[in-house]
A and B are shown apart, each in its own frame.
Chain A
């Protein structure tokens, strides 16, 4: 029983989330292989070979894999699946895009976003935005799984020396093509990968006042989030939204400022390790989930906090 992990990478280096997925894979079996599929991706393949706790790297290097479009990636996974009982990918936008396409071609019901491995067939996954945890058992002979990185500790990125084996791409499916990419130029970390998130709600009163959130986030090296109320009020764009219909985050520290704590918002952040709430309404539901609640006027408390940190 071997397990294949699909690496998240930028062709040169391996993205850290891959290391968390390897931990999940090792709970299924210790014979873990890592697939690096990309274009001129020797750098990433060599980095993968150094990872502790894996036994082989499979490198699939072809021009049509430069943006790892699902149409070109899925046939490779289908081919590789003959050798594996389990294929795991991170539940990132890349993993979420590619894995179900491969699963359907293999006639397998994928298991999304697992947080616990009980055994090779049984896994926990959050449903209803984390308001319930389902333990599911798969009867499929091949198991295709996406893994929530924050639920597993990373393996060591160094200390291994796995052989790198080449694997042929299946060519360009010819039905999709890359046009352009605009990665946000902010120095702030990604919302779903950040160790600290500072979120603002309707209590801010305006988009301009989000400057208070930005100043605190910059001081902490944090990502910025928002409640749906703040998004609906037009203070910040939709991609800031933390909640059931937005992004689900689980940082070490979540600071909710001027957020009352609607169910929809709590669903997106209550997996955070430590929660701080700053709100002038002491009855606000956010205080029910906060480890440290500060009942105060945010316009005084937040600048003070930023200054004193």
Chain B
């Protein structure tokens, strides 16, 4: 079976982000970028399915700047066989390529590649929308298994255990289908040096949104991006008794 795994280049999760002084967005110059953590889980899951003999080909797709090729190479070092970059210089965090536009772009690629299923991150840790997988499923008319913590592919179906508020839900999806990953699905491996070297030789196709016939014009305009209200922290108490007193009588939370 052929599986498509969209991967996004996003700010590394350890970076403390800064809002631009003109409040137009987030400062991304000279900031460490990595593969969105949920996408790493997606590529790991696809790779495990390939190792189990269920998947025969993994295609990693990214939408973003030229540098997103590095993200695709990372996916290849973990297990993707080839890659596609839909290149755009529009911002991919906010005020640029929005989830609906990403879903439309991915649909155009799915129409060409005809994968049996798609595994992708449930959200990216920059814009935090949590929409693209569900939107792509809608555009394709496919079933969706979001926030997956377990995945089994058998008898032409995807059996997906989903993390829902208060517990777990298991659903069965007819293939083709879309699965979006949650944290518990797996623990992504570190790519080995030989695999990083091999990844450099794998096929990576670069195309433009125009070639795919998709319109990336944003629907939302950014009025401003601001720092959240600063917390006035740093208060100290000297004993457990003082803490209990403050919580009862000052903060009134217990």
On A, residues with C-beta under 8 Å from B are 67, 69-71, 74, 92-94, 96-105, 107-113, 122, 126-140, 173-184, 190, 192-193, 196, 220, 237-239, 241, 244-246, 252-253, 262-264, 270-271, 273-276, 287-296, 301, 304-305, 308-309
- Say yes or no: A253 contacts B251, CB within 8 Å: yes
Residues in A neighbouring B136, C-beta threshold 8 A: 104
Residues in B neighbouring A98, C-beta threshold 8 A: 134
Residues in A neighbouring B16, C-beta threshold 8 A: 131, 263
In the complex, which residue of chain B has the Cβ closest to the Cβ of A71? B143
A-B contact pairs, 5 of them (CB 8 A): A244-B125, A245-B13, A252-B253, A287-B233, A293-B233
In this assembly, does B201 line the interface, its C-beta being within 8 Å of a C-beta of chain A? no
- Say yes or no: A289 contacts B26, CB within 8 Å: no
In this assembly, does B144 line the interface, its C-beta being within 8 Å of a C-beta of chain A? yes
- Are A136 and B165 CB-contacts (below 8 A) given A128-B26, A179-B159, A270-B231? no
On B, residues with C-beta under 8 Å from A are 11, 13-17, 19, 26, 37-38, 93-94, 98-100, 103, 125-139, 141-147, 159, 162-174, 177, 183-184, 218-228, 231, 233-241, 243-244, 246-247, 251, 253-254
B3 vs chain A, min Cβ distance (A): 18
| In the complex, the 8 A-B pairs of residues with the closest C-beta atoms, listed nearest first | A183-B167, A104-B135, A100-B134, A109-B219, A100-B131, A104-B138, A135-B223, A179-B170
Bound CA–CA A292/B235 (angstroms): 5
Residues in A neighbouring B171, C-beta threshold 8 A: 67, 69, 176-179
Residues in B neighbouring A296, C-beta threshold 8 A: 240
- Say yes or no: B131 contacts A253, CB within 8 Å: no
- Are A181 and B240 CB-contacts (below 8 A) given A96-B146, A263-B16, A293-B234? no
Residues in B neighbouring A110, C-beta threshold 8 A: 99-100, 129, 131
- Say yes or no: A308 contacts B244, CB within 8 Å: yes
- Say yes or no: B166 contacts A183, CB within 8 Å: yes
Bound CA–CA A89/B19 (angstroms): 29
- Say yes or no: A181 contacts B184, CB within 8 Å: no
- Say yes or no: A97 contacts B222, CB within 8 Å: no
Bound CA–CA A103/B131 (angstroms): 9
Query: Which of A93, A100, A246, A253 is packed against the most chain B CB atoms within 10 Å?
Result: A100
Bound CA–CA A102/B183 (angstroms): 25
Residues in A neighbouring B127, C-beta threshold 8 A: 127
- Are A308 and B137 CB-contacts (below 8 A) given A132-B225, A133-B225, A273-B253? no
Choose one: A105, A109, A181; the contact of B138 (CB below 8 Å): A105
Bound CA–CA A193/B166 (angstroms): 10
B177 vs chain A, min Cβ distance (A): 8
Residues in A neighbouring B17, C-beta threshold 8 A: 128, 131-132
A148 vs chain B, min Cβ distance (A): 11
Bound CA–CA A117/B251 (angstroms): 28
- Say yes or no: A182 contacts B167, CB within 8 Å: yes
- Extra pairs beyond A97-B144, A130-B228, A295-B236 (11, CB < 8 Å): A94-B164, A97-B134, A109-B99, A109-B220, A110-B129, A111-B220, A113-B128, A127-B93, A132-B226, A246-B183, A308-B244
Query: Which of A69, A110, A132 is packed against the most chain B CB atoms within 10 Å?
Result: A132
- Say yes or no: B221 contacts A139, CB within 8 Å: yes
- Say yes or no: B236 contacts A128, CB within 8 Å: no
In the complex, which residue of chain A has the Cβ closest to the Cβ of B175? A175
